[in-house]
Structure 1
Amino acid sequence: MSVESPSGRLPGLIPAALLLLLLITSCASGPTENVDREADAANKASVDEVVLPIDAYEFTNEQISQTEHAREVLISSCMRRFGFQVSHASGPAQDSRPVEELALDLGVHGNQRRYGVVDLAIASRYGYHLKSVAGTDNRRTRSTRDPGAANPDEFAVLTGATKDGREQLRYNHRPVPTGGCVGFATREIAGDGGLGEADLVSRIAAESYERSLVDPEVVAGFAKWVACMKAKGYDYASPRDAGIGFDIDSIPVTPRETAAAETDVACKQQTNLIDIWHGFEANYQNAQIARHLPELRKVQSARDAQMKRVADIIANQP
């Protein structure tokens, strides 16, 4: 199980294709929780949460979920102006991972599996599985309808372009917003900035992780972890490879898997690997924050302003 992204978290908000999938699908997968319950779930993130300095400038998973919901509200309203009777969900987007799963699996900021499994209690119960997979009660059914099957006119108004790529300027004698209703909703929420994580924030988060992998102290820590695991009968080339060979996409979690995960965590504790690894990243990020502080303060202000717009949209939804 190698690490594909530094945080394990989706880098931005749901793409237009998923919004289309959401809006053209009439049946939800089940009742959705309100924003208060979402915030409560996010606040109850697992004890194995990893906190890094750049988190202060990121969107939390709960904020991402709220932003997706607000964008659904605006898209639905825009589409109705063109005569398309689509409805938005009463909570997080059904075709994105609900905030409860994100907080459960990845933590408030998405860092929970940044260094793999780091908590012995989690290893003993879930092995290398994400909690939402190991606990089937937390899983939700996703729609599998093909967005390409949507009504061509609906698709054009939603996206601002026909299916063959031509720009849709008008529909029923009314001008279509640039980028369609998706573009309109994005601009209403993002204001003068971009929607989702600022490039600078994402870059610092990614760079600190990538540079940690070649830091001499971290590399030495990796070697000690490998030796510790080998002494206990596990042959992994790196902590990032821990869990390879186990089917982590289905249940049950086997005793063999939990034993490996427990040994993994024990070796991380024995070699002090997480403190070393996290220490490098924290130092690197703090240095970058100090270097870019004026820019990051603007990022923080823009994020807060965006979330104020999101709250207003949700509060005033039809």
Structure 2
Amino acid sequence: MTHTRPAAAPAARVALAGVLALFAAACSSSPSEPGKGTSTQVKGVPSVSAPPTIATAADQALPIDPYLLSYEQRDQLERAASVLVSRCMARFGIQYQAPPQIPGGNRPRSRTDRRYLETTAAGAQANGYHAAAGDQPTPAPAPPQLSDSTRLVLTGSTSANVKSGQGGQDYNGATIPKGGCLGESKEKLGGGDAQLARDIDATAREKSKTDDRVLAVFRTWSECMKAEGYDYADPIRVLDDPRWASAAPTDVERATAVADVGCKAQANVVGVWFTVEAAYETQLIEQNAPALAQVRKDNEDRLRVAAQTLAS
């Protein structure tokens, strides 16, 4: 059936930041589920080679990284999503402003930057255990104020409490897709990272924190800290000190953080922790090789569609 747009089509210009916020919510609300035959149950303690002596892991890549989206790839998908949403809405006579390019923002240098907490003396001296000024998260934009008709086409429902509706309604002679234009965009580009990859990332992270080899260097770190005049069981718990709840880092906090970084280096906390975590990831990746191969292909397909969308 051919749909035609009425001559007097309504126009609604909505802040793209709000549209992208809605799109992100729609993606995160229904992540892809692990496939049958997958498992993130660790089977034994993996062996490791001699850990490298490193002070920071910011330039190191974990084995699961190729199956997760980078910051730049997320940006590309979100830019393409905003284009697809705008095109979809235009089919119903609702025009959106062209989206601005999403900036990279203040982000870690990599997924492993600060994964093992503060590891640089300069960062510790400047910020203690507070986030650096450039690392403060950007406040989420306020949701756009939408008319019922605009919300219907955008989400497939007129309810502000429904992120994705059933669709199927007729509007201006065209049928609203399932989940509205946000749903149509997600159907073409997918959601966020695959659940399996996220689960492997989280499982290996948690297992590494209780691994005997990591706990051993935590004890060495703790002894080093005691020699410096600080009493903490491990470098994770030091973050829970209520004295760090001040609006800005204090001199005591900075001095503690500087000692912390020095003891991490002395005990090779980062080298051991990174190596052990990578070993758990490798084990889980091998257990789920076929499913992860599909995850990688799916990501490549999504990014290809995004690139084609942006190019056109």
Q: Which TM-score applies when normalising by structure 1?
A: 0.72
Contact 2:20 2:82 in 1 (8 A): no
CA shift, 1:100, in A, is: 3.3
Distance 1:62 1:283 in 2: 26
Displacement of 1:209: 0.7
**What corresponds to 1:183 in structure 2?**
183
Unpaired runs of at least 5, structure 2: 1-16, 26-55
CA deviations 1:32-85 (Å, max 9, x no partner) are: xxxxxxxxxxxxxx9734421111221111111111111111111111222222
Q: Of 250, 254, 258, which residue of structure 2 is paired with 1:258?
A: 254
- CA deviation map 1:201-244 (0-9, x unaligned): 11111111111122112122222222322332333343223334
Runs of 5+ consecutive residues of structure 1 not aligned to the other structure: 1-13, 23-45, 93-97
Q: Structure 2: how far apart are the matches of 1:140 and 1:207?
A: 28
Letter in 1 for 2:131: L
Mapped pair 1:57 → 2:67 = yes
After TM superposition, list the pairs within 5 Å mapping 1:203-282 onto structure 2: 203-244=199-240, 245-247=243-245, 253-282=249-278
Structure with higher RCO (Cα < 8 A, 6+ apart): 2
Name 1:80's counterpart in structure 2: 90
Alpha-carbon distance in structure 2 between the residues aligned to 1:162 and 1:217: 55
How many correspondences in the alignment? 260
Question: Once the two structures are superposed, what CA deviation does each residue of 1:158-187 show, in whole Å capped at 9, x if it has no partner?
Answer: 111121657442223321010011000111
AA at the equivalent of 1:67: L
User: Which residue of the other structure, out of 17, 22, 25, is the alignment partner of 1:19?
Assistant: 22
| Residue 5 of structure 2: aligned partner | none
Residues 296 and 215 of structure 1: is their aligned pair in 2 closer, same or farther, counting only changes over 3 Å? same
| Alignment match of 1:303 (pick from 281, 288, 299) | 299
Are 2:290 and 1:287 aligned? no
**Partner of 1:242: helix, strand, or coil?**
helix
Match of 2:310 in 1: 314
Q: Which amino acid aligns with 1:264?
A: D
Alignment of structure 1 residues 69-218 onto 2, 5 Å: 69-92=79-102, 98-102=103-107, 106-108=108-110, 110-131=111-132, 134-135=133-134, 143=141, 145-147=142-144, 149-163=145-159, 167-168=166-167, 169-190=169-190, 195-218=191-214
Give the Cα–Cα distance (whole angstroms) in 2 for the partners of residues 217 and 16 of structure 1.
47
- CA spacing shift, 1:215–1:47, aligned 2, 3 Å: closer
Q: In structure 2, give the amino acid aligned to 1:70.
A: A
2:200/2:284 contact within 8 Å kept: yes
Bigger drift between 305-314 and 79-88 goes to 79-88
TM-score normalised over the length of structure 2:
0.73
Counterpart of 1:32 in structure 2 is none
Per the alignment, do residues 16 and 49 of structure 1 end up closer, same or farther by CA in structure 2, a change over 3 Å counting?
Answer: farther
CA displacement, residues 14-33 of structure 1 (integer Å, 9 cap, x when unaligned)? 997823699xxxxxxxxxxx
Q: Structure 1 residues 150, 268: closer, same or farther in 2, change over 3 A? A: same
Residues 63 and 307 in structure 1, CA contact (< 8 A), matched pair in contact too: yes
Q: 1:128-171 deviations in whole A, cap 9, x for unaligned?
A: 3334xx249x886653x344x42122112111112165744222
The 1:217/1:15 distance shift into structure 2, 3 A limit, reads farther
**How far apart, CA to CA, are the structure 1 residues paired with 2:216 and 2:21?**
43
1:315 & 1:128 partners in 2: Cα distance? 43
Larger radius of gyration: 2
Aligned residue for 2:74, secondary structure, equals helix
CA contact (8 A) 1:19 1:72 kept: no
Q: What is the rounded CA distance, in whole Å, between the counterparts of 1:55 and 1:15 in structure 2?
A: 29
Partners of 2:282 and 2:18 in 1: CA distance? 31
